Amino acid sequence: MSLFRVLLSIIFPPLAVLDQGCGSVVIVFILTLAGWIPGVIAALVILNKK
């Protein structure tokens, strides 16, 4: 996980997980709409799995 990805997941979480698949992007987008913090946490978890 690069520093650029971490910063991107903090600024705009769905864009950070764009290459992880459509399902990940949709989940992170919905969580970001519900609240910024859940979207950031989900993006960081998804990026940390790889």
Contacts of 28 (CB under 8 A, 6+ apart): 13, 14, 16, 17, 39, 42, 43, 46
Q: What is the pTM of this model?
A: 0.88
Angle at Cα 49 formed by Cα 48 and Cα 50, nearest 5°? Answer: 95
At residue 1, the pLDDT reads 73
Q: Could you state, in order of their start, the residue ranges of all structural domains in the chain?
A: 3-49
Give the model confidence (pLDDT) of 24-40 as tens digits. Answer: 999 999 999 999 999 99
